[in-house]
A = this chain, B = another copy of it.
Amino acid sequence: MDEFVTLAHGAGGKQTSELIDRVFKRHFDNPDLTADDAAVLDVPAGRIAVSTDGFIVSPAFFPGGNVGKLSICGTVNDVACMGATPLYLTCSFVIEEGYPLERLDQIAAAMERTAAEAGVRIVAGDTKVAGKGQVDGVFITTTGIGLVREGAETSGADARPGDVVIVTGDVGRHGCAIMLARDDFGIDADVTSDCAPLAQAIGAALDAAPHIHTIRDATRGGVGTVLYEIAHQSGAGVWLDATSVPVAPEVAGVCGMLGLEPLYLACEGRLVVIVPAEEADAALDAFRRSPHTEGATVIGRISDEAAGRVVMTTEIGTQTILPEPGNELLPRIC
């Protein structure tokens, strides 16, 4: 087999089978992944959660992960945010002609490891090869299916005045790591992406605090965008304590130099959680004992004041409206 992906690898014939055997089957093999057109899976009666996401990060490899790890985390986390236990994933690749097979193998290996950690099986896939220049490297689209936990009802519309706002770790790492990996600014800082699968942590939190109202992973647009979505969906106001928002010193440093707001930088392993006050401690405790959410902390409250808006209260007691996100993201991370 060639050491680079060729158009023949995407033609659906012999070379496609070879690519699947050599890379994808080797990493993804499991009894549910067959050579038929679709996977056939057993599901218990009930409600399933389904989510899809496309991943086109550039560069495809960055400190803390690569596009493969990201493509599993992003979708697993979206499914888990609905109060579901992720079970199955599909993945679809669009690969640029000439892409090194070794890199593709590293991406698939990261997907294998992350899927195992998240407890999901890859059950169906697709591979297309696009001509040189038709696509930038590798695009991956994953779709996740999970079983909604008995009694779990989470939605951005359910945030209620009096609820507590939790974030599960320091914000803005992923956006900052990608920006530095692009080396557009000549800044040298040691920032690792927060990219991580969070299904286990969410499960533990829902066990401890079954009435959590909202769970969202802050990806594109960061925590600030998620808070605005929740404000709009629920019609309530979000009151943030600016000094409580955790930001790693190295991320704060880079943001300071470039005039960026960490609340708008992408995360890939951080949750925004809205929980009734009486269950806040239980939720916090569960997150702090779980992998990837050890840094969980309260950053604010839901109020009936400033409905539909996000208000920042500062150290000296002033209040400002967090600007509503819009226009192009700085930096673009996907």
Contacts and interface: CB of A to CB of B under 8 A. Distances in A.
Given A38-B144, A48-B41, A82-B36, A56 B128 contact: yes
A285 interface: no
B324 A14 contact: yes
A146 B84 CA distance: 19
B47 A12 contact: no
Given A54-B92, A143-B90, A156 B35 contact: yes
A31 interface: no
A249 interface: no
Interface stretch (A112-120, A133-141, A205-213): A133-141
Contacts of A42: 46-47
B56 A49 contact: no
B334 A53 contact: no
A88 B48 CA distance: 11
A290 interface: no
Interface residues of A, number: 82
**Most-contacted residue by chain B among A136, A143, A229 (CB, 10 A):** A143
A97 to B, nearest CB: 10
Contacts of A128: 54-56, 334
B124 A92 contact: no
Given A54-B93, A136-B134, A139-B139, A221 B13 contact: yes
A121 B211 CA distance: 30
Contacts of A154: 36
A328 interface: yes
B47 A40 contact: yes
B43 A325 contact: no
A50 B221 contact: no
Interface stretch (A3-11, A166-174, A185-193, A296-304): A3-11
Given A38-B78, A135-B136, 9 more contacts: A8-B328, A11-B328, A37-B217, A42-B46, A50-B90, A50-B143, A52-B92, A56-B94, A128-B334
